[in-house]
Amino acid sequence: MSTLITNIAELMTQDLEHRVLRDAAVVVEGERISWIGAAADAPPADEAVDAGGRAMLPGWVDSHSHLLFAGDRTAEFEARMAGESYAAGGIAVTMNATRATSDFDLTRLAMGRVAEAVSQGTTYLETKTGYGLDVEHEARSARIASTIADQVTYLGAHLVPAGQDPEEYTDLVCGPMLAAVRPYVQWADVFCEEGAFNAEQSRRVLMACREAGLGLRVHGNQLGEGPGVELAVELGAASVDHVNYLAAQDVKALASSWSGWDPAVGTGERGTVATCLPACDLSTRQPLASARELLDAGVQVALASNCNPGTSYTSSMAFCVTTAVLQMRLSVHEAVRAATYGGALALHKEAGRDTDGERAVGSIAVGHRADLHLLNAPSATHLAYRPGMPLTYAVWRAGVRER
C-alpha cells in the first residue's frame, strides 16, 4: 500500500544536506519513505493525501522522558513558583506513588502519556525507569516501558531511597537491579548531581552497565557545575542531558568528543550529544541551557521534553522548539533539527545507523521510517511565530496515520 502526500508547501527534511523543499511531495510505502521530491514529479500511488499547502517536518524524536510514574507534584511546583528551589528529594514522592500503583494502572498511565505525545507530533521516544528504586519495581517499570516506548533507559541511579546507605544502594544498582532490568533496556543513565549520585558512584554504575552491554547516558550539570559532563565524555556516553551549568572545559570536552565525526555524511566517531531540556529549565527556574554556545562550538545538540511529574510535566516538543528559538537563540531550522535529527543521534537511530533493520528516524529521506509531522501552517517558522498554538495537523508514525 502506497500513499502520496502532495501539495506540501515546505518540506523540512532534516536530512544530511539540510534540504528544505518547496511545493513538494512524499510517497510512503508500508512503514518507510519511498520517494520525495517536487510535487510536479511525484509518481502515482494507491492513495493520495492533499497536504493543502502546509509544512511537513520529521516527527519529533523525544530522546529523554520519564513516563513510568504515578501521582502528581502540584504542591512542589507551587512551592517552586513561590520561590523554593528544586531538589532531587521530590523523586521520593513519585517513587511512593508509583510503587503503590498496580501494573495495570501504571501501564494505562504511561500509554496515555505516549498517546498525548504522539498526538502532538512525537513519533519516536525514549523513556526511563527511575521511580521504582528497588529491584522489583525497577524491573516492573522497565518491563512496562519496553511495551510502550521505542527505547528504554535504566535509571535505578536516580535517587538513593531514604534510609539506605548510598554505597550499598549503588551496589544494588550495579548488581541485582541491573540483572533484573537487563532484558528490557538498551541504555543506562545516572543522576550525577549533588543530592543524588557523586562522581565515583556514577562512574561505578555506568561502568557496570557498560559491562552489561548497555549504552550510556548521564543527567549532568543540571543544578550546578559538576562532574557529569566530564564523566559522560570520558566514558563515551551517547548523551549528557540538562547541561545548564557548563564550565569552559565542559564545552571543550563535548566539542572535542565530536572531532572525529563528519556531520556532512553522518559518519565517523560519534561524540556525546548535549541534550537540552528547556521545558524543565523553565519549570525549575534554572538558566536555559546554552544551546547556542554548544552549537557554535561544534557540539551536536538535541532538544527533548524530559516529561516527568517533578521538573517538566509536558511532552510538548513544539514547546521546547518554540523556547529554543525565542529564548535560546537557535534558528527555527536548528531547533527543529535538534528535536528530530539530534534526538535520533542521541538514540543512535539517525540516518546511516540502520544497523538493526529498523529504519532511521529523525529525518525525511528515502528508506527512512515514515515518521511525518504535518503542521497546520505553511512553514515551520510558525512554531515560533505562533507560540502555544496547536499546530499539529497530521502525524504518520512508521507509515501509519495516527492523527
Ligand X SMILES: N=CN[C@@H](CCC(=O)O)C(=O)O
Q: Which residue has the cell 566517531?
A: 269
Which amino acid type is present at position 5?
A: I
- Quickly list DSSP for 324-369: HHHHH---HHHHHHHTTHHHHHHTT-STT--TTSSPP-SS--TTSB
Confirm or reject binding of residue 306 to Zn ion (CB under 5 A).
yes
Nearer to Zn ion (CB atom), residue 271 or residue 310: 310
Confirm or reject binding of residue 306 to ligand X (CB under 6 A).
yes
Contacts of 102 (CB under 8 A, 6+ apart): none
Nearer to ligand X (CB atom), residue 92 or residue 389: 92
**Cα 288 from Cα 276, distance rounded (Å):** 8
Confirm or reject binding of residue 245 to ligand X (CB under 6 A).
no
Helices (H), 41-182: 74-81, 91-99, 103-119, 135-148, 166-174, 176-181
Among 219, 270, 368, 397, binds ligand X (CB under 6 A): 219
Confirm or reject binding of residue 94 to Zn ion (CB under 5 A).
no
Q: Which residue has the cell 556525546?
A: 272
Q: What's the min distance (Å) between Cβ of 124 and ligand X? A: 19
Q: What's the min distance (Å) between Cβ of 26 and ligand X? A: 34
Helix (H) or strand (E) holding 205, with range, is: helix 199-211
String of contacts with ligand X for each residue 47-76, x by CB under 6 A: -------------------x----------
Q: Is 308 annotated as a binding residue?
A: yes
Nearer to ligand X (CB atom), residue 66 or residue 359: 66
Confirm or reject binding of residue 91 to ligand X (CB under 6 A).
yes
Confirm or reject binding of residue 363 to ligand X (CB under 6 A).
no
**Cα 127 from Cα 114, distance rounded (Å):** 10
Confirm or reject binding of residue 94 to ligand X (CB under 6 A).
yes
Nearer to ligand X (CB atom), residue 3 or residue 312: 312
* Cβ proximity of 344 and 14 under 8 Å: no
* Cβ proximity of 63 and 346 under 8 Å: yes
- Of these partners, ligand X, Zn ion, none, which one is at the site of residue 127 (CB under 5 to 8 Å by kind)? none
Confirm or reject binding of residue 13 to ligand X (CB under 6 A).
no
What residues form the annotated binding site? 64, 66, 73, 131, 158, 219, 222, 306, 308, 310-311
Which residues form the interface with Zn ion (CB under 5 A)? 306
Which residues form the interface with ligand X (CB under 6 A)? 66, 90-91, 94, 191, 219, 222, 280, 306, 308-311
